[in-house]
Amino acid sequence: MANNDDLLKKIIAHAKEYGFIFPSSEIYDGLSAVYDYAQYGVELKNNIKQYWWRSMVQLHENIVGIDSAIFMHPAIWKASGHVDAFNDPLIDNKDSKKRYRADVLIEDYLQKIEDKLEKEIEKAKKRFDNFDETLYRQTNERAVGYQKKIDEITENFAKLMNGNDLAGIKQMIEELEITCPVSGTKNWTDVRQFNLMFSTQMGSVSEDADTIYLRPETAQGIFVNFSNVYKTGRMKIPFGIAQIGKAFRNEIVARQFIFRMREFEQMEMQFFVRPGEELKWFDFWKQERMKWHHALGIAPENYRFHDHEKLAHYANAATDIEFKFPFGFKELEGIHSRTDYDLTQHEKYSGKKLRYFDPETNESYVPYVIETSIGVDRMFLAIFSNACREEKLEDGTVRTLLCLPPVLAPVKVAVLPLVKKDGLPEKAREIMDMLKPHYLCQYDEKDAIGRRYRRQDAIGTPYCVTVDNQTMEDNTVTIRERDSMQQKRVTISELNNFLSL
């Protein structure tokens, strides 16, 4: 069985070999934590974005979309708290000279105990089923011990993070005897705060230049457009504004492939509600977003909620939807009840009123906000890593396949003439012309049919349409389904109906 590291390596290799993701600037040895999406990657990524956009904007009559600029007035980041507080606690190992996020070191430590706990629970279950009372009791005791340790560390850790107690965090790392994965030593520096925003200069003359920031989240572009959208869109509370766009963070620890990048994309929606109703809507969006994930058909046990112990300064409730990545359960999406913090701050800093007049109550107020925020790239990794499989066939060979949900697959249909003669390629081209206005299709006539099927399996194409000699006689083709490999004969005129994804 491949361990987690091997699994991730396989996924990275597959993404590169089959044209999904390349390291950025590869011929110059790459740029850390920056990636390019290749020919199939960009299709999958666009499909994810479209799937989100449709479900948020098209299916909710009270949600509209915007596309705000990446560059924004620098005062916005002062108002939002990012200039002063968008920090991560960092720590260096003096021997390896490697830099880490101090909170991530502790979270990784906790994850290891959680893994042990999970194993003990599994063992205990087996021993219980086998009526092995003594061994069951021993295992159970160990599990209880692990759980106690997890609770203790989690509670202390939340206190330290909430209190911004950097010395306390260092002490915790020392007490837990956390070592540097590279040097293996416990020779740590003090913990320091590090601001994650990238800055640049706007203006051609550097003396006059203003420092501006590459946005670290798309949310602020929504808040500063609140009044514009509310008035021009004649929106009525509760209503939402959605946006998909790039965000930039100078992450200290950039590893785990596209899980944590320095340039990434977010799909965010801010939902404006009456003050006092925010927790009801928070619960609504929590459920709604989980349903969206489940609708893709990935096994529900791969998802879980993780309610926050440490609430951000602007939030009165927060949860993450975590996904079981190859390196364990990690945040995929955040759902936050942001109170009226952002709009109030922007009122203060801009001097402009950001209020909603409620015709039902005859009152004017600053709305409260529920945010749903998911990384496109993290969603890509979740879908891709879950889909990447190796399957042993009856003839002993192994096929590599990507079990992507059909709605997200880059190529929907491959059209394959069985041989390159007898008019089959021409017939296949006719079918291509018929299908390509509706789906992204691929024509392939090179190599034996079995190899062509394998190539399509590896990029996740749900259907292969094969044109053979019988096609020339009765206008039927075979459709091969990727996961079952089963084939069915249908007439060409039925194809569009059959394939409608």
Binding site for ligand ATP (CB under 6 A): 217, 249, 251, 260-261, 264, 266, 331-334, 373-375, 377-378
3 state SS for 370-405: EEEEEEHHHHHHHHHHHHEEEEECCCCCEEEEECCC
Residues facing residue 416 across a β-bridge: 466
Q: Under 8 Å CB-to-CB from 283, ≥6 apart: which residues?
A: none
Minimum CB–partner distance for residue 196 and ligand ATP (Å): 9
What whole-number distance in Å separates Cα of residue 111 and Cα of residue 19? 33
Smallest distance, ligand ATP to C-beta of residue 30, A: 16
Query: What is the three-class DSSP state of 490?
Result: strand
Shortest distance, CB of residue 45 to ligand ATP, whole angstroms?
Answer: 12
Contacts 24+ apart (CB under 8 A), 345-349: 345/79, 345/80, 345/81, 346/76, 346/79, 346/80, 346/223, 346/224, 348/79, 349/75, 349/76, 349/78, 349/79
Give the three-class secondary structure for 224. Answer: coil
**Least distance from ligand ATP to the Cβ atom of residue 469, Å:** 50
Rg of the chain over Cα atoms, rounded to whole angstroms, equals 26
Tell me how far, at minimum, the Cβ of 33 lies from ligand ATP, in Å: 8
Residue nearest ligand ATP (C-beta atom): 375
Q: Count CA within 13 A, CB hemisphere, residue 487.
A: 9
Closest CA to 445 of 458, 431, 434: 431
Residue (251 or 445) nearer to ligand ATP, CB: 251
Cβ-contact 242, 267 below 8 angstroms: yes
Residue 203, CB-side half-sphere exposure with 13 Å CA sphere: 10
Phi, psi (5° rounding) for residue 388? Answer: -75, 110
Q: How far apart are CA 240 and CA 272, in angstroms?
A: 6
CA 239, CA 370: separation in Å to the nearest integer? 10
Minimum CB distance to ligand ATP smaller for 235 or for 379 = 379
Helix (H, G, I), strand (E, B) or coil at 188: strand
In our burial notation (b when 16+ CB lie closer than 10 A, e otherwise), range 449-468 reads beebbebbbbbbbbbbbbbb
Buried (b) or exposed (e) across 223-248, using 16+ Cβ within 10 A?
A: bbbbbebbeeeebebbbbbbbbbebb
Least Cα distance to 250 among 86, 113, 360, 115 occurs for 86
In whole angstroms, the minimum distance from the beta carbon of 303 to ligand ATP comes to 13
Q: Decide: 202 and 212 in contact? Cβ < 8 Å.
A: yes
The HSE-up count of residue 177 (CA atoms within 13 Å, CB side) is 0
Give the residue with the Cβ less far from ligand ATP, 84 or 481: 84
Cβ-contact 128, 136 below 8 angstroms: yes
CB of 207 to ligand ATP, least distance (A): 33
CA dihedral 246, 41, 387, 465 (to 10 degrees): 140
